[in-house]
Amino acid sequence: EDLKSHLNTPIPIGRPLHNYHCYVLDDYLEPVIPSNQIGELYIGGPGVFLGYFNRPDLTKQSFVNINGEQCYRTGDLIKLNDNGEMVYVDRRDFQIKLRGQRVEIGEIEQTILRSSSSIDNCVVVKYTNNQQQEHLLAYIEASTITESSSIRQYCQSQLPRY
């Protein structure tokens, strides 16, 4: 078979593990039917954590009850292929994966905005260079010239090392 014909074929991320339930639901928490329709992935089972420590607001936002089971809303948009395997499509929010860690882009942008009163706006994106190294880039709009070193230093004091 021709290798080029498979280059644009999405690679499945697999099937649910034993004792876990995966649901692909639409915005109304209804199952996405038929296959190859995009929905959000919800996961239930014994290994799913019960909620965020001292953050009932995040727990309420991230969990739903499906068939009497507390399920985690992953934020991953997926579809099921014709073999019933899950295929990753995109993220619902602005969370990315960088060197194996989940990174919330909005948290970084808010930290940059707090670093200087002269910063009016910013956008953070993930960039992969020619050597396949991943970096975060921040595009900043400021009312006055702001030293990037002071912004970087502030972010390093406030954010995990990505």
| Residue 87 CA neighbour count, 13 Å, CB half | 15
Instruction: State whether 7 and 84 are in the same domain.
Output: yes
**Domain-terminating residue out of 91, 112, 138:** 91
Place of tokens 């190859």: 36
CATH number, domain of 31, equals 2.30.38.10
Instruction: State whether 78 and 136 are in the same domain.
Output: no
**Domain-terminating residue out of 67, 91, 115:** 91
Instruction: State whether 70 and 125 are in the same domain.
Output: no
Instruction: State whether 84 and 106 are in the same domain.
Output: no
pTM: 0.60
What radius of gyration, in Å, describes the C-alpha atoms of the chain?
A: 20
Tell me the three state secondary structure of residue 3: helix
Domain that holds residue 49: 3-91
Instruction: State whether 7 and 86 are in the same domain.
Output: yes
Cβ atoms of residues 105 and 95 within 8 Å: yes
CATH number, domain of 134, equals 3.30.300.30
- pLDDT (tens, 9 = 90+) of the chain, 162 residues, equals 555 565 566 778 888 889 999 999 998 999 987 777 899 999 999 999 988 889 899 899 999 999 899 999 999 999 998 888 999 888 787 778 888 888 888 889 999 999 999 999 999 998 888 988 889 999 999 999 888 999 999 999 998 887
**DSSP secondary structure, 32-46, as one string:** P-STT--EEEEEEST
